[in-house]
Structure 1
Amino acid sequence: MNLDFHQVDAFSSQPFAGNPAMVYRLDAWLADELMQHIAAEHNLSETAFMVREGSRWHIRWFTPGAEVALCGHATLAAAKVLFELYDEPGQRIEFICKSGVLAVSREDELLVLDFPALSVQPLAVSLELEQALGVSVISAMLADKLLVVLDSEQSVRACNPDFAALARLPWSGVIITARGEAHDFVSRFFAPAIGVNEDPVTGSAHCSLIPYWAQRLKKSMLSAYQCSARGGELQCRLEGERVMIGGQARLVASGRLWLEPAGSER
C-alpha cells in the first residue's frame, strides 16, 4: 500500500508562509496507529486524513503527537486539495468530524471556513500562567483552549514562552491576543502539550477569538493576523453561532508515501 500526499501552505498566497499542512485523500480509513505514525513522520503541526461518506467528507487531524478534535488550517488545506487536484464540484464542501459538521466555501480568491463560534468564560490569572508565558496578562478566559489577553501587539510578538512550563498547565493549547496595529486583532497559539510548540496560523483558535473581539470592538467583520514567524492573514466574520474564517492557500508539494517493502513497487 502506497499513499499520495499533498502539502498546502494555508492562510497564505505564497509558498513558505502561512501554516503548512499535509493532506491525504483516502479510499478507506487506515488504522489509528498508522495515521499517527504518518503524522509524526511528516512532523508538521497537522496532517489531515479524509474519506468520502455520501456527499460529505469525513476528516480527521493528527499532530505529531496526538489526534485533535478540530483544526482550521488543515481543513482549509483539505478543501484546497479537493478543489484543485481532485476537481470537487460546486463551491462548497462539507466535512464531518468529532466537532460536528464543518464547511469550506470558495469566495473569489478566498477559501472560507464555516466553523462553530465558541463562547469564553472568565478564568483567574495564575502566577504559573504568567511565569510560563513570561509576560503580564490582562485577562484570561477558557473555551476549548485558554484565551489570554495581553496589553499590545508588541507584547504578543515579543512573548517567549517556557514551553516545558506551558505543557504542564491543564490546557491543550494557549492563545495569546491583543488589539492589532494594522489589523483588528493579532494572536499567537502555543500547544506544546500535544507536540506543537507554536502553530504558525490556527484557524480553530479563531472560533473563540472572533466572538471575543466582535463583542469588544462592536463589529462583526474583522481582520486578523497571527504573528508567528511564518505569519498569516485571516478575514473573519461572526454570523450568529458560526464564525467564517477566510484565507488563501497555496499547494506547494505532492508526493507518495511508500509503505510497501523496499523495491516492491516503482
Structure 2
Amino acid sequence: MEIPIFTVDSFTNLPFKGNPAAVCLIENELRDDLYQSIAAEMNLSETAFITRRNSMDYSSGARFGLRWFTPTCEMPLCGHATLASAAVLFYMKKNVNPVLMFETMRGELYVRQHEESLIMDFPLNKPNPQDQHEIKNLLKAVVGDVPIQDVCYNPTTRNLMIRLADTCDRSELTSLKPEAEALLKNESTGKIKGVIVTMKGAPTAQPGYDFYSRYFSPWLGVLEDPVCGSAHTVLAAYWSEKLNKKKMLAYQCSCRGGELGLEIRDDGRLNIIGQAQIILQGTLKI
C-alpha cells in the first residue's frame, strides 16, 4: 500500500517555524493500530489522516473524514493538523470548493481560504476557576517560582490554564523548562491532559499581540506542542472576557513560534486564522 504524505508547518508563513504536522491521504480506512504506528513513525506532535466522503476525489470533494494521532494516542481535537490538512487539499490538490468540511470526533469543522490565510471554524471552550491548592505541586513543576495571577480548567479539553502575573516579562514565559517526568509525577489522575501557560501581551507594540502562551502535554506523548490550535479554543474564551475583545492576535512563543488570529463569532464559535507552509511531499510505503 502506498499513501501520499505531506509535512506542513502550521501557523507560520516561514518554513521550519510554527507547528509541523504530517498529513496522510487515505483511500480506505485503516486499522487503528496502523494509524497509531504511522503517527509514531512520523514522531510529530500530530499526524492527520484524511479520508474521502461520498466517493468524491480530493480535488472536487467538499466533505472529508479527519482523524488526528500523536505518537502515543488519538486526539479528539487538533487545530494545527486541521490547518495542515486544509492546506494540503487547497494548495496541493487544488480543491475547488470555497469551504471544506471535516467530520471529526468533535463534530463538523469547517475551513475556508481568505487571501494568504486559512480560517478554521472551531468550538469555544471556556475555562472555569481552579483551586490552586489542589494542584500546587503541579503548578510548581510547571512554572517554578514565577508568580501566578490566575488558574483555570476546561473539562472538555482537559486543559489546565495558568496565567502568569502581569508583572512578568515575556522572557519568564519563554525560559520555562518543565520536565516531563515531574509533570507526569504530579498529575496521574487523568483529569489533566495538557497545561497552557499564558500571559498578557503587548497590544500597543508591533505586531500587537494580545496574549502569549506555551503548551505542555507529556500525558499525550508531547512535552511541548509548538503551536496548539485547540489550546486557543480555551485561551480565546478566557482572554476575550478579560480584555473585552472579540478579535485578538496571539503568539505561542515556543522555540519555533507561531501566530494565530482569533475571532469570536456572534454564534459563540471561534474562527482561528493562520497560514501554513508545505515543506515535504512523499509516499509512505506499507
Give TM class, smaller chain.
over 0.9
Counterparts of 1:49-128 in structure 2, within 5 Å, are 49-54=49-54, 55-125=62-132, 126-128=135-137
Count of residues in Structure 1 that have an aligned counterpart in Structure 2: 259
Task: Report what 1:155 is aligned to.
Answer: 172
SS in 1 for 2:283: strand
Task: Give yes or no for the alignment of 1:248 onto 2:282.
Answer: no
Q: Give the CA deviation at 1:65.
A: 0.6
TM-score calculated relative to the size of structure 1: 0.94
2:153 to 137, 142, 147: 142
| Structure 2 Cα separation of the partners of residues 42 and 246 of structure 1 | 26
Q: Give the CA deviation at 1:147.
A: 1.1
SS in 2 for 1:35: helix
Q: Give the CA deviation at 1:130.
A: 2.1
Q: Give the CA deviation at 1:167.
A: 2.3
Q: Give the CA deviation at 1:138.
A: 1.9
* 1:122/1:142 contact within 8 Å kept: yes
Letter in 2 for 1:193: W
SS in 2 for 1:177: strand
SS in 2 for 1:138: strand
Task: Report what 2:32 is aligned to.
Answer: 32
* 1:105/1:111 contact within 8 Å kept: yes
Q: Give the CA deviation at 1:140.
A: 1.1
Task: Report what 1:264 is aligned to.
Answer: none
Query: 1:199-258 CA distances to partner (integer Å, 9 max, x unpaired)?
Result: 010011110111111110111110100000000011111114211111110000011112
| Structure 2 Cα separation of the partners of residues 97 and 202 of structure 1 | 17
Q: Which moved more, 1:205-214 or 1:132-141?
A: 132-141
Q: Give the CA deviation at 1:85.
A: 1.4
Query: 1:141-178 CA distances to partner (integer Å, 9 max, x unpaired)?
Result: 11121111112333321211122121241411111101
| Structure 2 Cα separation of the partners of residues 200 and 176 of structure 1 | 13
Query: 1:54-93 CA distances to partner (integer Å, 9 max, x unpaired)?
Result: 3411100000011010000000000000011112112211
| Structure 1 Cα separation of the partners of residues 230 and 282 of structure 2 | 27
* 1:132/1:163 contact within 8 Å kept: no
Task: Report what 1:236 is aligned to.
Answer: 262
Task: Report what 2:195 is aligned to.
Answer: 174
Q: Which moved more, 1:31-40 or 1:167-176?
A: 167-176
* 1:112/1:244 contact within 8 Å kept: yes
Task: Give yes or no for the alignment of 1:131 onto 2:145.
Answer: no
* 1:43/1:64 contact within 8 Å kept: yes
SS in 1 for 2:284: strand
| Structure 2 Cα separation of the partners of residues 44 and 128 of structure 1 | 29
| Structure 2 Cα separation of the partners of residues 20 and 208 of structure 1 | 21
Q: Mind listing any 5+ residue stretches in structure 1 that lack a counterpart?
A: 260-266
| Structure 1 Cα separation of the partners of residues 30 and 21 of structure 2 | 19
| Structure 1 Cα separation of the partners of residues 52 and 163 of structure 2 | 39
SS in 2 for 1:12: coil
* 1:7/1:254 contact within 8 Å kept: yes
Q: Mind listing any 5+ residue stretches in structure 2 that lack a counterpart?
A: 55-61, 203-207
Q: CA RMSD in A?
A: 1.2
TM-score calculated relative to the size of structure 2: 0.88
Letter in 2 for 1:139: D
Letter in 1 for 2:271: M
Task: Report what 1:263 is aligned to.
Answer: none
